[in-house]
Structure 1
């Protein structure tokens, strides 16, 4: 690892090192990353455009889809432009304020995204995400940072920045771990209960065709939630306990959990809705 000699009295600046061990492949790795990012932007902006244009879609379900699309755009945009600058141009510097701003919005949007998925099944305010994320930058601000300010990551992931500190980080790590498990566990439990009740109701339907259609939709939704949840939890756990796992594996997964949902959500939640699919088809054929 390259040396970065900077005293604690200097300007707070970090170096994002990309994906350690795969530096030679950064250009190649940037190709699927950029493709995923472009697809996610096109899909989510298409959902927003169609719902905005069609008054018949101004319903609670489609407004929630728009909120989901906005969080998807925000999550991937918080990470990918900077990551691609690292891969393409070697622009690795990021200020302390920039670092805190980046991970605050990543975590706030991630929790909001999770809350919206729950809201699609239960009525819950998503603004609580901001209150849960707010302690992260406040706790990080109190930490001293000494000579090592090289972050082995493509973005300012919270625990990766915390590990750069030469102070006591137990509070930061404990709070991060508790929030990750409480929110992920609570959301997955509520979503599981919701879809359990939906599937139970669907099985009572006499129509075999309606039965199959509803089950296919539920299966697709649950698959996306499980994939997202498993990747997220694996990323969080390996960052804290996975000492034997290669750094590039963790970093790739940490990027995927911010890229995969924005790509899949417009397909699963948008295209699966016949009303929205028909409206999207109308505008697509015009192009």
Structure 2
């Protein structure tokens, strides 16, 4: 594109009349089968066309499909489909011969009564078909199986995986079962044939505590303490004597009637 804006706003131009017809008459009368992208394409053609209605630049070069697709924000394949539908409806024509590798010159057509049904058929028939998605192998049901909810679930033979699980009713209830070991400070034994020990952390002993009756003791008579002591009262001790010199108490010893220091002080033997 050369960047020059097409002078299509003149009241007497084909492009101006085309936009008015599209806005006021054609778009409201279109059936529901025509997508909005088809209408967007027609508006883009009217904006890019010259006053004569030809979709080309002022220098005569044709506007290519990829430029039209970029203006419509659509895929080039969808733009080709919508152009074919517009030609079928009679609102767009092709000038000259269409050749592969050469851009096609499209011309706006002011048709009094467009054939929108032909446009719907052209769009529907040219719709691209997406390849069918193959379901994953785990959803493919076996022949003869129920097709609802993905078929029936697979069944394993009885001789695999150790056979059916044992039933509790087959056990002999008269056999002696294992007993739980005594409660100790060790850990709980692993799962085995024996029962688990009782787990009573911090449980007080439930034995009865009987309190013995205490019989009353007989009273003891205590003599009253003397209130006064005589003047010459001395505490009575076992074998207490008096020194012959200082008259103080001393421990009696055989052959001695006075203290040692009293003997030393008096010079007596």
Q: TM-score range by the shorter chain?
A: under 0.3
Higher Cα Rg, which structure: 2
TM (normalized to structure 1)?
0.20
TM (normalized to structure 2)?
0.21
Larger helix proportion of the pair? 1
